[in-house]
Chain A
Amino acid sequence: QSALTQPASVSGSPGQSITISCTGTSSDVGVYNHVSWYQSHPGNAPKLLIYEATNRPSGVSDRFSGSKSGNTASLTISGLQAEDEAHYYCCSYAGRTTWVFGGGTKVTVL
């Protein structure tokens, strides 16, 4: 149950696009499409942004998109806005009803 690998921080200017990577192994990200992404603002409950690697729940802005290739999943935020400044976490199902999260990425809007 080793944590997925995310960059500690990513930054961008308003209007730009940024991508956060999430690298796992052939036991989690590489074998399951069950990758999800969460946004966490300080003091708030985490919010589901992406599920099943590429799907967006209703109500989530289409500026958020997900992809997956091999052992790596990615979250792209397009048209970066000040309100996007937050921590972002990936999560993968790891089999036998266990899950593993990434270490989190702090997004800074310059």
Chain B
Amino acid sequence: EVQLVESGGSVVRPGGSLRLSCVASGFIFDDYGMTWVRQAPGKGLEWVSTINWNGGSTSYADSVKGRFTISRDNAKKSLYLQMNSLRAEDTALYHCATFRIVGPTWRYYFDNWGQGTLVTVSS
């Protein structure tokens, strides 16, 4: 059974930092790209960042570019999101999700999701 378990969310002051983790099980981690998607309270889903299977390619939403860094450790089957210079508008439930990569071909949809970890940015 595919499982994605996020952790690391907490209450942090504006300007602070936080590192989120997502541990995967039940599938071959190296076969998948990974992404972070967030949902602010009462709002919709927002794509945040994506990384390919080996970390060689990363991308970010404009709203977090320069502040967030995505990374992964395939040996630990883990995905990370380093969040710096946090703002109130970063308050959200952060989900990790998978997308399949088959050779050079990406599947551009997110087929497995975790339940999320809550980040609250407040003074």
Contact, CB under 8 Å: B47 / A101: yes
Asked if B13 CB lies within 8 Å of chain A CBs, one says no
Question: Which of A10-18, A67-75, A77-85, A89-97 has 4 or more CB atoms under 8 Å from chain B?
Answer: A89-97
Q: Are B47 and A34 in contact (CB under 8 A)?
A: no
Cβ distance A40 to chain B, nearest Cβ, rounded Å: 8
A46 touches B45 (CB 8 A): yes
User: Out of A3, A40, A48, A98, which one reaches B111, CB within 8 Å?
Assistant: A48
For the complex, is A24 an interface residue (Cβ under 8 Å from B)?
A: no
Bound CA–CA A97/B46 (angstroms): 14
User: With a CB–CB cut-off of 8 A, which chain A residues contact B110?
Assistant: 36, 38, 46, 48, 91
Q: Tell me the count of chain B residues lying within 8 A, CB to CB, of chain A.
A: 27
Q: Choose one: A43, A52, A96; the contact of B109 (CB below 8 Å).
A: A52
- Interface range for A: 20 to 34
Kindly state whether residue B44 has any CB partner on chain A within 8 Å. Answer: yes
Q: Report A-chain residues with C-beta under 8 Å of the C-beta of B44.
A: 3, 87, 89, 101-104
B111 to chain A, nearest CB (A): 5
Please report A residues at the B interface, Cβ cutoff 8 Å. Answer: 1, 3, 32, 34, 36, 38, 40, 43-48, 51-52, 57, 87, 89, 91, 93, 96-104
Binding site for A on B (CB under 8 A): 4, 35, 37, 43-47, 50, 52, 57, 59, 61-63, 95, 97, 106-111, 113-116
